[in-house]
Amino acid sequence: MKRDDVLRALAGRRGQAVVVTTMGTVRPWARLSDHPLDFASADSAMGHAADFALGVALAQPPRKVVCLNGDGSMLMSLGTLVTIVASGATNLVLFVLQNDTYELTGNQAIPGAGRVDFPAMARAAGFPRVHAFEDAAAYEAALPSILEGAGPVCVTVRVEPGAEGPLGRGPGESAACLRPSLAESARRLRRALIGQEQSPSSRLSAR
């Protein structure tokens, strides 16, 4: 499955959910969405997007929070799987896009490439709902119930390696979400979450 297929289907159904991206999902998601409830976790140490998403989910219980994590990032914070379940958050959907590589630095193989079983890890951590997909049609058919039901939910999707390069911030970035500073991005998300910023129409239609 191609990553764009995964993201495009999600973009069309995310509604008013917060979407936290990181590493290889940042620019591809930004090409589909410029929603004020999008946040690129692209500045701190790798592996903390799921932690950030959990914090938002705990602070905003009525709102769905989606984290678009990579397999390399997930390997760096496997304890977060246990923490998510222990937190009691029921509004978090954690995606793990598994391409078995560290894409941004040249597609080097992750440790355990081809052997790591993220769904099994999520079940062992206590996730009540765990899904795994390799087929686009099956994924798209299941997506509405994944997003609508109570969580936490862990969704592993096998995708082909991509060709995204290292991330930066500044006016020269192609992704609009990476042009403001990290501090300004956080302020914008906070304003959107507490209702001080009207959500414009997002570019969510399939392209």
Q: Is the peptide bond before 28 cis (omega within 30 degrees of 0)?
A: no
Q: Where are the domains of the chain?
A: 3-193
- pTM for this model (two decimals): 0.86
- At residue 205 the predicted structure's pLDDT band, cuts being 50, 70 and 90, is very low
Cβ atoms of residues 105 and 93 within 8 Å: no
pLDDT digit string, tens, across residues 78-137: 999 999 999 999 999 999 999 887 766 667 777 878 889 999 999 999 999 999 999 999
Per-residue pLDDT at 19: 95
pLDDT digit string, tens, across residues 53-65: 999 999 999 999 9
> Which amino acid makes up residue 124?
A
Euclidean distance between CA atoms 123 and 153, whole angstroms: 10
- The CATH number of 3-193 is 3.40.50.970
pLDDT at 181 over 90: no
DSSP character for 5? H
Those residues whose C-beta lies under 8 Å from the C-beta of residue 140, and which sit 6 or more positions away, are: 9
pLDDT digit string, tens, across residues 154-169: 999 999 887 676 666 7
Per-residue pLDDT at 199: 43
What sign does the CA torsion over 166, 37, 127, 87 have? Answer: positive
Euclidean distance between CA atoms 151 and 95, whole angstroms: 12
